[in-house]
Structure 1
Amino acid sequence: MLKLSLTRAVAYIDRLPLFTRLAIVLAVGAEVLGVLPWWDVRAWGRLEPDEIGLATMYRTNTFPLIHTDVLHLIVNLLAVTPMLERFEAEHGTLTSVALFMGPLSTIPALIYVGIERFLLRANTAIMGASIWGFLLLGVEAIRHSRSTPYLVINGQQTIPTWAVPIALLLVVAVLMPGSSALGHLCGLGVGYAFGLGYIKFLAPPERVLRWIEGKLKLRTWLPYYVSVDQKVYGRPIMMPIIIHGAVASVLQLRRDPRMLKVPPYLSLLCILVGVAWLFLLPLDQYSRRTYISENALLPGQVHTYFGGSDQNVFRAYKHEVDELAGKSNTEVNDKLEPIIKGLGLKTARQNFTYHAAGHTYAGENLYAILQAPRGDATEAIVLVAAWENVKHEINRNGIPLALTLLRYFKRWSLWSKDIILLVTPDSIAGPQAWVDAYHDAHDPARVSSLPLKSGLLQGAIAIDYAQEGRFDSLHIVYDGVNGQLPNLDLINSIVNIAQGQMGIGVALQEMWHHDNGYPDRLRTMLRGMLKQGLGLASGPHSSFIPYHVDAVTLRPFGEGWQDEMAMGRVIEGSFRSLNNLLEHLHQSFFFYLLMQRERFVSIGTYLPSAMLVAANFTIMAIALWVKSGQPREAATPKSKTDTPAAPATAERDLFLPLGVVALIQSLSIIPLYLFNHAPESALTPLFALFTLLSTLLPITLSHLLPPTPSPQQQYHLIQSFSLLLLGMFLSTLATLNFSLAMITGLFAVPLSFLRPVASPAGKIVVGGVLLNLISPSAVLLAAAGYWGLDVTSVLREAAVGWQVCGTYSPVVVWCVWWPAWVAAGVVVLGERKGGKEKEA
């Protein structure tokens, strides 16, 4: 079938007329030229309303030949080529050149420019041959409506034939929000006018065309040229549609066994395109420069005064903090609380106790509230300084700097929001307990309530300044729990203040030296995806983000000439920007991938990659469902003269497959519970035992399945239901945690292509070796070994994230990925012999 399709495709391309070929070559050539760095062909040829003048009128003819990217080009060529080929075959090559390189491009372009410039007061640039496509659809719709005014649906409802392109335009506008509905509408309107004959006078007279052809002898030396006298009138592009007949054709096509060979290739194509899409994101054509969306922030617009005598105050506080090294949490708070009270602020404490992996995470938070002189205690900003950072290093400079800043802020009367100083014993459990209690979402048995509160939290900045001496640059940590991110405006504001105003370098994702090239952009993006996919807290800020409190952690690094006062001025500028806000940050992005401090991609650009990977599971699930309904071949041979008839759909027995899938899903609760509640000392033995039982479970289930008349059908249904659940979950998860959905989907890709194995040797190779190499346990072992970690520490961190922060990554691994892997094992290792058929 593939050979036949290629032969037909080559034959179709070989008979394309001259102008259609020329349009394809020009469009492809423009795309190739767009890669060249010294000429931006898109900026030169696109239709941009504000750029249209006498000297740039060429844009009204060049914009259909220029496209935003390769995918845009391919889709437009596939849609436009058949209609353009038919138009040229009916009107001739010279007429097609004169019309499409002239009025049929210029008129819709001028209409679009007029509407954009004078009515909408906008300047939206457009490009692409889709405007030709809708123009040709309009021509065909009008012509076909003369013979068939209405299209019949279900034998009863009718719609006007001329309205079909409008419905298609609306569908394209909904499915492709980045497309220009106005541009398509302009092309469609001109197509209607041409089809009705209102602008046919624009076509050159035939006698002139014959004279040109005769003088230049075009028919003799131009291949594929269509002359005026060789015009061919083929069948219309838009045919009458009787829905019940179309449904019958679709059903017959669905039962065609050749169609079942397509889904594996389509599934593989989705995977390859999804991965390729991901690796295209760091390119300039797919990413964007960062910008400030919230004008009220005004980052870097105020002069910062932190410094001078504050340096002496910082040194005094640092001396006090250095003496507390090695003291208990209570002793530290006993020392710090009088210092804060001495500033005239109200203070309070909060106790918390968490249990995870056999350990107890207990402590006492200390916090104080600086009431805003110009506020009414309805909004607040949080300054967090944990005693220990995530690496369990004492925050030797962070605590003194926070105290110094609080003392400095107390002297200013410009604050319209309260400022809360939060000192926690660690960077994970302490901030989580405090922010849970602040929003009354805590468990009173483990976390005590807050005796002192302020207003709605507008933002939070955590200081992680454990290194001694001066620093060179600033590392912004922004990953939240479960891959949630702060509003991009907060990060952009801090970058603007630190780099633009203070001259301090900024790094992301521990990329200490970033040259803004493709490799470093890709590495930064993948590091961010990995951290967001794990879903663990990366600093004190992570606990705030699930409550829609935009927060980051600032961590100095390197050896340079920047001191503590420079760090303080960055925080002062950031607090001044947050103080300007009249409402919560909402205008910029909450879903994004950062490639570099000034480069990002938004969810609309990167989401299709994960959706394509998830779609491969759904495609294979549907294909297996259809295959399960195919009847078994009859035992009696057919004569050569028999006429093949469409086979009836075989009856499906759903009870057993649904029961198997439900049983496997129920068993997934066991590893989820064990690994999140077992003590640390038992994690490694439990993991080894679970890995062994997971290996034996598919073998056991496959042998316990009762014999059925159609075992092959049962295995198809088991795998279909399993892949359907996996695809549905990953598609939904991609909108919440793109990175986790993408990582899980890529690891689970082999499950789409596993099939029952008949031979014993094949079962040993596929079921005993390959299947276990792609199991969640094997992947976890490989990942731990790659990063030089032991399995115990990985499982312990996952348990802490589950018990303390509410991380749901373990749910995805054990309740989504693992059941799909077990179901695939049952299918691969299942017996293919069935029971006896029941006689009617």
Structure 2
Amino acid sequence: MPNIQGFSMLRARSYVLRLPLFTRGLIVAISAFWLAGLLPMWDLRQWGALIPDQMNIFTMYRLNTFPLIHLNFFHAFLNILALTPLMERFEAEFGTLTSLSLFFGPLTMIPAFMYIFVERIILRGNTWVVGASIWVFLLLGIEAIRTYKTNPYLVIGTHNIPTWVSPLVMVVVVKALVPSSSFFGHLSGVATGYLFGLGYLKFVAPPEKVLRWIEGRLNLLARLPHYLTWSQRVSSYSSALVMRRNDRLLKTAPPYISLSCIVVGVVWLFLLPLNDYSRRTYISENALLPGQVHAYFGGSDQNVFRAYRHEIDALKNSSNVEVNDSLENILTGVGLKVGRQNYTYHSSGETYSGENLYAILQAPRGDATEAIVLVVPWRNMRDELNRNGLALSLALTRYFKRWSLWSKDIILVIPPDSRTGIQAWVDAYHDAHDPQQVAPLPLKSGALQGAVALDYPQEGRFESVHIVYDGVNGQLPNLDLINSVVNIANGQGQGSKLQRMWKHKDSYDDRLKTMLRGMVNQGLGHSTGAHSSFIPYHVDAITIQPVSQGWHDEMGLGRVVEGTFRSLNNLLEKLHQSFFFYLLMNKDRFVSIGTYLPSAMLVAANFTIMAITLWMRSGYSEEEELPAPESRQSGDVASTLTDSGSNDIKVGGSDAAAVMAATAKASKPVERDIFLPLGLVVGSHLLGAVPLFVFNHTPSNMLTPVFILFTAVNALLPHLASRLLTPASLTAQQQRQFRQLLKSFSLLLLGMFLSALATLNFSLALLVGLLATPLTFTPTAHAGPAARVAYTLLLNALSPPAVVAVGATVAARYLGEGGGVGGGVGHLLAEAAFGWCVWGLYTPLIVWCVWWPAWLVGGVVALGGGGRSSSDGAGKAKIA
């Protein structure tokens, strides 16, 4: 079996050119109907969809048009991709004319009538359906019955699973992944396929005499290119059986399947901003009642705010302890219980210490079992004095104290910064702190129901509020909290912005930019505000920032906070009904996990597909191709093919035998030696702990030179590993198997890790998966020096150190962090080390212990190694 070398455009072109006539016609028809659906003057779906309550004698044409109509390009593309190989096989077995008569006749009408009966008579609904997926499942049903006749059971452990249930499983999976798909429409197609495969619908096929008469009178074979006659269909079916017994599919299909997974995954991502794939936001928790109460903050509270701001101005040059002393006096005077907490963190040779101040307003109608948190850091993430935010929080606390409606305690937390202080406070509140670094809290309340952080350093009036919601490690708050704040802000006449999109026009471009910015923040996993530290503890939290110049003053922002706190005060339990996994496109549009998850899963699946393929191929030896016998006249020899115990099929002529001989190989099963490749893969992942430890414990001023040294070693490491860890005593055949198993185990682990990660941090899994896609197509056979150099350069260009350097450069240029490449790299690595030590950031773990080991193994596989020729056996081993 030859090695997988990647993709061949020549093979792909040859496959397309060999497609029979009816299959080509369906592809053209589906494409033409999709293009026609783009015309604004014609509602194609309304005209040709299968709509149960509009079926009558004058609309019977819908029975044949609905499979050709699709919702969008993506829908049509996927159905064409799935339908083409199945329809090609069916047409090769039954001929072009029979396929035409069946699929524009009984094999489309029967499942259509089944669906109409279920939808109208049983369910009493009127859900319309379009798309060729009903043909796909019909053909899958036929194939399942054919497989069941020769291989009745799939054995998994001690369980025997009938092979005929595979289409039913696919129906359920498709419904789960694509909720808008028609479950009963697909079931109708599978049921019809079962009936046809079992032979109960043979009577609907046109008689053989009629077919021969039509083909003879019209001379279709001569007039129509790629037409398959009745007589040719027997020979074509035999050729199909030959292909099933041949291993060409195993050699050529996996790279194309993997590429299809990658392309479809990327296309899926870029379709998400469209209306067909995203949804409008809504409030799931009725108890929130956002904007249903009148906010009274204002009036004389404006004078209180100005007084507190004057106090803050007097403290802006004071130390942390002096500030807390003054604020403690203010809060104690309001009548609150006040506590203080010291902490000290160490990261990259730097020490971060400070003292948190917090106060608890006990609820008049509560029992101290629940609390809401208002966080106002002394300095925000940009190290700006949170002057107006602090004054507003003190005014709000004094205002809240006068009300008797609170059923939950209100905790005001004032940390010295937005990065370390609030993390220490949250950890200590949940008793998850390190006593050597963080002091315990002297005062506590009940379970935290939600948190709102204020970031208001700017002067003057504002137009909108910017909602920051990204948490540590890509975790997100419950979507109901964001929707509530948007609703309350709208009630106050204030706009809402997300992901620093100040002029969002709700266009596709703006939706895509908002989504991608959110994915970048989620993928990096860093803290984006004082709220981020709450989310890992399942406390829904956001940061509110006034932005732009407008006519709203501080009292308007105070009313937004008041409305938010009163909504959270209504809760009887934690927010749980809405989404925790989503991508926001705008303040009122989002995509849920069920819609966006397939994108990352498809990218991760391409690694698993290639890993399984390489495992299967590593169990066979490859020898020289046997010479094909000379062609003989048709009819000289009758070939007898037996397909897994089924009845013999007689084929006139030697065409089938010639096809087998032309592609035959003297392959035989061989024993796999898995110890060495498995040990190397496991060792490479353990080796990832070295850069993880080094970059998280190196002083910040040494990070840049250490990174440069590591990058140089990283470029040489695959060469050294290939030379030292690949035994030179192995034969060429053993070398091939060694590289296949090495790549198989590495890709299997990578696919498994990314699939699991996608459910926790979709953006990080997708980003790593896309950057690692060249590893799927790393050649496992010896290539020429130029090819090896080219592929090694490609792998080095997409290596983790290279991506880190490029990312740091981009951040330094557009975000103003660091100075140039070196400064940017040092700053980025220092931030990653800080996140690892303080926030519990796991992005460095994924980079150095998942992605980097897979890259290292890919480099070893690409470089290969020497091996001695094998002279024992039937032939000389072939090295591509």
Q: Same fold (TM over 0.5)?
A: yes
Q: Residue in 2 aligned with 1:707?
A: 728
Q: Residue in 1 aligned with 2:827?
A: 793
The answer on whether the counterparts of 1:140 and 1:238 sit within 8 Å (CA) in structure 2 is no
Deviation at residue 631 of structure 1 after TM alignment: 2.0
Deviation at residue 320 of structure 1 after TM alignment: 0.8
Question: For residues 137 and 105 of structure 1, what CA distance do their matches in structure 2 show?
Answer: 17
The answer on whether the counterparts of 1:274 and 1:610 sit within 8 Å (CA) in structure 2 is yes
* Distance 1:196-1:717 versus aligned 2 partners, 3 A rule: closer
Q: Residue in 2 aligned with 1:803?
A: 837
Q: 1:346 aligns with which of 332, 337, 355?
A: 337
Query: Secondary structure at the residue paired with 1:555?
Result: strand
* Paired letter, 2:362: Q
* Paired letter, 2:668: A
Q: Residue in 2 aligned with 1:243?
A: none
The answer on whether the counterparts of 2:381 and 2:419 sit within 8 Å (CA) in structure 1 is yes
Question: For residues 425 and 81 of structure 1, what CA distance do their matches in structure 2 show?
Answer: 68
The answer on whether the counterparts of 1:357 and 1:799 sit within 8 Å (CA) in structure 2 is yes
* Distance 1:818-1:400 versus aligned 2 partners, 3 A rule: same
Query: Secondary structure at the residue paired with 1:342?
Result: helix
Deviation at residue 102 of structure 1 after TM alignment: 6.9
Q: Residue in 2 aligned with 1:275?
A: 266
* Distance 1:666-1:184 versus aligned 2 partners, 3 A rule: closer
The answer on whether the counterparts of 2:485 and 2:560 sit within 8 Å (CA) in structure 1 is yes
Q: Residue in 1 aligned with 2:370?
A: 379
Deviation at residue 327 of structure 1 after TM alignment: 1.2
Deviates more, 1:268-277 or 1:386-395: 268-277
C-alpha deviations, 1:507-551, integer Å up to 9, x for none? 111111122222222222111111111111000110111111111
Q: Residue in 2 aligned with 1:647?
A: 667
The yes-or-no answer on 1:596 pairing with 2:586 is yes
Q: Residue in 2 aligned with 1:819?
A: 853
Can you give the 5+ residue segments of structure 1 that lack an aligned partner in the other structure? 240-245
Q: Residue in 2 aligned with 1:614?
A: 604
Q: 1:296 aligns with which of 259, 268, 287?
A: 287
Q: Residue in 1 aligned with 2:254?
A: 263
Instruction: Map 1:316-331; keep pairs closer than 5 Å.
Output: 316-331=307-322
Instruction: Map 1:223-622; keep pairs closer than 5 Å.
Output: 253-254=246-247, 256=248, 259-499=250-490, 501-622=491-612
Deviates more, 1:799-808 or 1:559-568: 559-568
Question: For residues 314 and 305 of structure 1, what CA distance do their matches in structure 2 show?
Answer: 15
Question: For residues 764 and 166 of structure 1, what CA distance do their matches in structure 2 show?
Answer: 48
Q: 2:120 aligns with which of 106, 113, 122?
A: 113
* Paired letter, 1:168: P
* Paired letter, 2:277: Y
Question: For residues 748 and 381 of structure 2, what CA distance do their matches in structure 1 show?
Answer: 39
C-alpha deviations, 1:584-631, integer Å up to 9, x for none? 212222111112222222222222222222222223333433444442
Deviation at residue 128 of structure 1 after TM alignment: 3.1
Instruction: Map 1:118-197; keep pairs closer than 5 Å.
Output: 126-131=129-134, 152-153=152-153, 168-177=167-176, 178=179, 179-185=181-187
Aligned residues: 799
The answer on whether the counterparts of 2:21 and 2:96 sit within 8 Å (CA) in structure 1 is no
Query: Secondary structure at the residue paired with 1:540?
Result: coil
C-alpha deviations, 1:309-335, integer Å up to 9, x for none? 111111111111111102111111111
Question: For residues 205 and 758 of structure 1, what CA distance do their matches in structure 2 show?
Answer: 53
* Paired letter, 1:702: S
* Distance 1:33-1:402 versus aligned 2 partners, 3 A rule: farther
C-alpha deviations, 1:17-56, integer Å up to 9, x for none? xxx95x7766544433444456664467656779999999
Question: For residues 205 and 823 of structure 1, what CA distance do their matches in structure 2 show?
Answer: 57
* Paired letter, 2:768: T
Q: 1:66 aligns with which of 59, 69, 72?
A: 69
* Paired letter, 1:479: D
* Paired letter, 1:793: H
* Distance 1:316-1:41 versus aligned 2 partners, 3 A rule: farther
Instruction: Map 1:621-700; keep pairs closer than 5 Å.
Output: 621-633=611-623, 644=664, 646-700=666-720
The root-mean-square deviation of aligned C-alpha atoms, in Å, is: 4.5
Question: For residues 334 and 11 of structure 1, what CA distance do their matches in structure 2 show?
Answer: 83
Query: Secondary structure at the residue paired with 1:714?
Result: helix
Deviation at residue 112 of structure 1 after TM alignment: 0.8
The answer on whether the counterparts of 1:173 and 1:180 sit within 8 Å (CA) in structure 2 is no
* Distance 1:738-1:160 versus aligned 2 partners, 3 A rule: closer
Question: For residues 274 and 457 of structure 2, what CA distance do their matches in structure 1 show?
Answer: 36
Query: Secondary structure at the residue paired with 1:372?
Result: coil
C-alpha deviations, 1:550-597, integer Å up to 9, x for none? 111011111111111111111111112222222221222211111222
Deviates more, 1:56-65 or 1:67-76: 56-65
* Paired letter, 1:113: R
The answer on whether the counterparts of 2:64 and 2:104 sit within 8 Å (CA) in structure 1 is no
Question: For residues 532 and 108 of structure 2, what CA distance do their matches in structure 1 show?
Answer: 57
Question: For residues 704 and 45 of structure 1, what CA distance do their matches in structure 2 show?
Answer: 66
Query: Secondary structure at the residue paired with 1:303?
Result: coil
* Distance 1:658-1:197 versus aligned 2 partners, 3 A rule: closer
* Paired letter, 1:172: V
* Distance 1:194-1:837 versus aligned 2 partners, 3 A rule: closer
* Distance 1:200-1:700 versus aligned 2 partners, 3 A rule: closer
Question: For residues 42 and 393 of structure 2, what CA distance do their matches in structure 1 show?
Answer: 51
Question: For residues 467 and 687 of structure 2, what CA distance do their matches in structure 1 show?
Answer: 41
The answer on whether the counterparts of 1:306 and 1:565 sit within 8 Å (CA) in structure 2 is yes
Question: For residues 639 and 26 of structure 1, what CA distance do their matches in structure 2 show?
Answer: 39
User: Structure 1-normalised TM-score?
Assistant: 0.83
Q: Residue in 1 aligned with 2:866?
A: 832
* Distance 1:307-1:88 versus aligned 2 partners, 3 A rule: farther
Q: Residue in 1 aligned with 2:775?
A: 751
Question: For residues 98 and 694 of structure 1, what CA distance do their matches in structure 2 show?
Answer: 63
* Distance 1:33-1:458 versus aligned 2 partners, 3 A rule: farther
Q: Residue in 1 aligned with 2:763?
A: 739
Question: For residues 830 and 418 of structure 1, what CA distance do their matches in structure 2 show?
Answer: 65
* Distance 1:693-1:197 versus aligned 2 partners, 3 A rule: closer
Question: For residues 144 and 702 of structure 2, what CA distance do their matches in structure 1 show?
Answer: 72
* Distance 1:687-1:372 versus aligned 2 partners, 3 A rule: same
Question: For residues 199 and 698 of structure 1, what CA distance do their matches in structure 2 show?
Answer: 60
The answer on whether the counterparts of 1:92 and 1:231 sit within 8 Å (CA) in structure 2 is no
The answer on whether the counterparts of 1:340 and 1:368 sit within 8 Å (CA) in structure 2 is yes
The answer on whether the counterparts of 1:30 and 1:65 sit within 8 Å (CA) in structure 2 is yes
Deviation at residue 151 of structure 1 after TM alignment: 7.6
* Paired letter, 1:444: P
User: Structure 2-normalised TM-score?
Assistant: 0.80
Q: Residue in 1 aligned with 2:751?
A: 727
The answer on whether the counterparts of 1:89 and 1:232 sit within 8 Å (CA) in structure 2 is no
The yes-or-no answer on 1:774 pairing with 2:798 is yes
* Paired letter, 2:349: G
C-alpha deviations, 1:413-443, integer Å up to 9, x for none? 2222221111111111111111111111111
Q: Residue in 1 aligned with 2:641?
A: none
Question: For residues 196 and 720 of structure 1, what CA distance do their matches in structure 2 show?
Answer: 39
Query: Secondary structure at the residue paired with 1:782?
Result: helix
* Distance 1:197-1:610 versus aligned 2 partners, 3 A rule: closer
The answer on whether the counterparts of 2:423 and 2:839 sit within 8 Å (CA) in structure 1 is yes
* Distance 1:758-1:337 versus aligned 2 partners, 3 A rule: same
Question: For residues 533 and 357 of structure 1, what CA distance do their matches in structure 2 show?
Answer: 22
* Distance 1:127-1:300 versus aligned 2 partners, 3 A rule: farther
* Distance 1:774-1:25 versus aligned 2 partners, 3 A rule: closer
Deviation at residue 480 of structure 1 after TM alignment: 0.5
Deviation at residue 836 of structure 1 after TM alignment: 8.2
The answer on whether the counterparts of 1:375 and 1:417 sit within 8 Å (CA) in structure 2 is yes
Deviation at residue 813 of structure 1 after TM alignment: 1.1
* Distance 1:774-1:108 versus aligned 2 partners, 3 A rule: closer
